[in-house]
A and B are shown apart, each in its own frame.
Chain A
Amino acid sequence: EIVMTQSPATLSVSPGERATLSCRASQSVSSTLAWYQQKPGQAPRLLIYGALTRATGIPARFSGSGSGTEFTLTISSLQSEDFAVYYCQQYNNWPRTFGQGTKVEIK
């Protein structure tokens, strides 16, 4: 099973600032990586797939990068609605696995 490790566990950022979230795979997953956002009391929402392709309706301030074992989700200028937990998920191997999440909180 591929283990996905996200860092940091919590990221404190001021509105308008840039946020950089990391996700590391225990072995190469090529570009088969997705990112999700989950707000309290809500279901997750797909942000990014294929490591860098934004899902339908996702604002351009969200961008993904990386391949192999190292991936990054960048939020260029944090809006109030972006404070949430973010998960990465690999789909190179079965079983599909998620990272443990990074909470982006208001500084």
Chain B
Amino acid sequence: EVQLVQSGAEVKKPGESLKISCKGSGFSFSGSWIAWVRQMPGKGLEWMGIIYPGDSDTRYSPSFEGQVTISADKSISTAYLQWSSLKASDTAMYYCARVKGLTMDWLDSWGQGALVTVSS
């Protein structure tokens, strides 16, 4: 069974750093693309970027380039999303998901989400 298990909820202050994780099992993690998706409170889904853990090839959506860093450790089948200096506007639910399709197309399996709250 394909599973993506994300780290837990976080409460941080503006300016702090944060790294959240997404551990995959039941499939070839290093041979799959993994995406990160943001959902701000009461809003829709936003595709942030993707990573291929096999070689750490990473692609960012323009809105998120320079704002976050996506990384992975294929030895432990885990992808990461990190911030160096959080802002209140980073408050959101963050999902990881497995990407399917020949050209990194749709998202067929999702993690349970990690709620990040940034507040002073």
Contacts and interface: CB of A to CB of B under 8 A. Distances in A.
B53 interface: no
Majority DSSP secondary structure for residues of A touching B: loop
Interface string A75-97: 00000000000010101001111
15 contacts: A1-B62, A32-B105, A43-B97, A43-B110, A43-B111, A44-B95, A49-B101, A89-B45, A91-B104, A94-B59, A94-B61, A95-B63, A96-B61, A99-B44, A100-B44
B72 to A, nearest CB: 19
A88 to B, nearest CB: 10
Interface of A: 1, 32, 34, 36, 38, 43-46, 49, 55, 87, 89, 91, 94-101
Contacts of B108: 46, 49, 55
Given A49-B105, A91-B101, A98 B110 contact: no
B100 A49 contact: yes
A95 B105 contact: no
Contacts of A32: 105
A7 to B, nearest CB: 14
Interface of B: 37, 44-47, 59, 61-63, 95, 97, 100-101, 103-113
Contact of B105 (A34, A45, A99): A34
A95 B37 CA distance: 12
Nearest to A98: B45
A55 B95 CA distance: 19
A99 B108 CA distance: 17
Contacts of B63: 95
B106 A46 contact: yes
Contacts of A99: 44
The residue among B44, B45, B108 with the most chain A CB atoms within 10 A of its own CB is B45
Please provide the 4 A-B residue pairs with the shortest distance between their CB atoms, ordered closest to farther.
A95-B61, A34-B106, A43-B110, A91-B105
A91 B106 contact: yes
Contacts of A34: 105-107
Contacts of A55: 108
B106 A49 contact: yes
